[in-house]
Each structure stands twice: as C-alpha cells, then as structure tokens.
Amino acid sequence: MKIGMYPGTFDPVTVGHLDIIKRSEKLVDKLIVAIAEHPGPKEPLFSIADRVKLVQDDVAALGLKIEIEVTGFDDLLIHYAEQRNVSMILRGLRAVSDFDYEFQMTGMNYQLNPDIQTVFLMSQDRYQFISSRFVKEICRLGGNIEKFVTPGVKEALHKKFTK
C-alpha cells in the first residue's frame, strides 16, 4: 500500500489544495493531509481543530475512492512521514515564486531521508494564483472569495472577519 503525505498550513483550505488532493488519487492508495500546527513565526488565522475540520468537510464532499486522513502534526515533517510509513511527500507547485522554497525544502528532506520522495503536482492554470494568504486578505477587505474556496470555508472566513 502506497501512502502519500500532503503537508501544509491549510489556513484555510482552498480549491487549489483540493485539486491537488483530488489528483493524488492517481498516485497513492492512501493520502494523509498533514496540517502543520505551528507553521512558523506567524500564528495561523484558524486553530488546528478548525483547519482539520474544514479540510475534512471539503474532502468528504469530493467523494474520492482512496482513503484520506486529515490530521495535525507538530513534528519535523520528515520524522512524521517516517513514523507514518509514508513513501511520498506531495506538494503543489504554482508559479516560479514557489520554486525556490520548495527546491530547498525538498533538498533538505532528501538529505534527511532519501527513501522518501517528494513529488510535485503543477497547479492547473485556473488555480495558479490562488493562495490562502490572499484569500484571507481579500475576505478581510470585503472582496468576493467564492471562486477560491468552498461555501463552508467562505462562511468560516466571514465569521472570523465579522467578529
């Protein structure tokens, strides 16, 4: 059984993320969507519980044939991948701007464990420009985010910004 891991912050999940999850069906038998609890110096907008729930709801609506597990993690990614018997780390690649960071991360992870391969799926052109960061910004300033997220995520974002 081939287990893949799709790591990220998912703050919140967008249709761009969902497209990568959908396409993973052709690559792995099981996908673990691993959500970084504390991704960096900046606190995420949504709690880990909320981010997990939003991905779970969106994934359930996709009705995929493979098993998708959605979980938080707070470990070094490669250690968590080893612990979960993952053979492939999946990442989405948008414009050139993603490349530098992804290139470095893949190189470091390969040094740490050459048995785990990082595989990139190029974003489809209609999702190229969608990022969680801009979706939050657009919503905060009252713009329409319907094209970028599912109705459930849209509602959760509106709740955040109308508090």
- Quick check: 123 binds ligand ADP (CB under 6 A)? yes
What's the one-letter identity of residue 104? Q
Helix (H, G, I), strand (E, B) or coil at 31: strand
- Rounded to a whole number of angstroms, the CA Rg of the chain reads 15
In 3D, which of 48, 3, 22, 14 has the Cα closest to residue 150?
14
Pattern 39-58, ligand ADP, x by CB under 6 A: x-------------------
> Catalytic site residue 94?
yes
Reference 88, options 34, 39, 124; nearest CA is: 34
Does 91 engage in binding with ligand ADP (CB under 6 A)? yes
What distance in Å separates the CA atoms of residue 50 and residue 46, rounded to the nearest whole number?
A: 6
| Alpha helix ranges (H) inside the chain | 15-23, 48-62, 77-83, 96-112, 132-140, 151-162
Instruction: Pick one of 5, 8, 44, 77: the residue that binds ligand ADP (CB under 6 A).
Output: 8
Which CB sits closer to ligand ADP, 82 or 102?
102
98 lies in the site for ligand ADP, by CB under 6 A: yes
- The stretch near ligand ADP (CB under 6 A) out of 46-54, 64-72, 107-115, 130-138 is 130-138
Q: What's the closest the beta carbon of residue 95 comes to ligand ADP, in angstroms?
A: 10
109 binds ligand ADP (CB under 6 A): no
Q: Which residues bind ligand ADP (CB under 6 A)?
A: 8-10, 14, 16-17, 20, 39, 91-92, 94, 98, 123, 127, 130-132
